[in-house]
Amino acid sequence: MNKSRDGAGTRRWVVKIGSSLITNNGTGLDRDAIEKWVRQLVSLQQGGIEVVLVSSGAVAEGVKRLGLKKRPREIHLQQAAAAVGQMGLIQAYESCFQQYGVHTAQVLLTHDDLSNRRRYLNARSTLAGLVGMQVVPVINENDTVATAELCFGDNDTLGALVANLLGADTLIILTDQQGLHEADPRTQADAPLIAEAMAEDSRLLAMAGGSGSLGRGGMITKITAARLAARSGARTIIASGREPDVLVRLAQGESIGTRLLPEKQPMAARKQWLAGHLKAKGQLVIDAGAVTVLRESGRSLLPVGVSAVNGQFDRGEMVVCVDESGQEIARGLVNYDSREASQILRQSSRQIEGILGYVGDAEMIHRDNLVLTE
């Protein structure tokens, strides 16, 4: 068995399972298939991989439960079917995971949840807390309230954005195709499978069907998702969900499907994004001790090291950290708004609850959301 960078040693995987792999021809859920997926996901978790599941299937289950002959075309009826079907989807996953003593959590997201900075940070904190407690989040688009303008359009995109959100190192997109081929395998049976490529390779879009196409087997959305995931340094593996124990074999290092790699490692890519793509909204003045900790230890910035707050900003916005002479030291996404930050500066993290009246983050800026100024 060949070992690769996609095997042992990875830490957090976002696994997207398409509806074709968990439904009976698009109508109703295939409970046996779901049980097999859950068994593999639990195996990953037992092997030390933090698992986040993005699953389709709610509308298909709703169509069955409502006795509809086919998936409705009207958006409000699709939303109604999704609302009914989501109950069955989460029940199926919950009952299967419970057999292994693993807890699950239902998380429904809209595009606005991930484009609004405050809600983005709240979603990130919640999901990170869940996986830290060995809970498997089962994520789907909130079809019940999403409008055409807010829809992700497909769960491939949602999976990529969740990978960005959580700083995952790997996005697994399971489909009914073997991976990305150099030509359409349905018309050219001997078309070579692309085993590995860079996610930003412009030739991939042409191979997947071109930017103006829905793609061969929906492959165009998967290439786009891989590009999104690569922005935060995540690799993407597109593989067939028909392969026996595909997740377990990938975790063991077996080369299956197509691997699309980012230009940079996850943390390096995230730091670059923080450094160059957000406008600072305020300023934190930090003392000499905090400057030393940030520069030499790479740790988080705690409230006790902040001596002054300048400007107005909301939770989750970019702020600049300067030393007491005004020299920029770092910048990052702050966990408190300017009013709260002013109240807890120079205080121990243990005192935050007593001052603000609620338990917030221990850090003013977490090290994962902090980049030092060169």
User: Running DSSP on this structure, what letter comes out for residue 179?
Assistant: S
| Side-chain half-sphere CA neighbours of 103 within 13 A | 7
Q: Is 263 left (phi over 0), alpha (psi -120 to 50) or beta?
A: alpha
Question: Do the annotations mark residue 16 as ligand-binding?
Answer: yes
Question: Do the annotations mark residue 140 as ligand-binding?
Answer: no
Residues 57, 314: Cα–Cα separation, whole Å? 36
Residue position matching structure tokens 């979603």: 123
| Side-chain half-sphere CA neighbours of 323 within 13 A | 13
Question: Do the annotations mark residue 56 as ligand-binding?
Answer: yes
Residue position matching structure tokens 């195709």: 177
Question: Do the annotations mark residue 175 as ligand-binding?
Answer: yes
Antiparallel, parallel or unpaired: β 328-333 and 370-372 = antiparallel
61 CB neighbour count, 10 Å cutoff: 26
Residues 126, 105: Cα–Cα separation, whole Å? 10
Number of continuous H segments (helices) and E segments (strands) in the chain: 13, 13
For residue 156, which amino acid is it?
Answer: D
Q: What values do phi and psi take at 202, rounded to 5?
A: -65, -20
Antiparallel, parallel or unpaired: β 196-198 and 235-240 = unpaired
Question: Do the annotations mark residue 373 as ligand-binding?
Answer: no
Calculate the alpha carbon distances from 263 to 146, 201, 239, 336 in Å.
Answer: 33, 10, 21, 32
Question: Do the annotations mark residue 314 as ligand-binding?
Answer: no
Residues 117, 130: Cα–Cα separation, whole Å? 20
Under 8 Å between Cβ of 190 and 145: no
Q: Per the annotation, where are the binding residues for ATP?
A: 16, 175-176
Q: Per the annotation, where are the binding residues?
A: 16, 56, 143, 155, 175-176
Q: Per the annotation, where are the binding residues for substrate?
A: 56, 143, 155
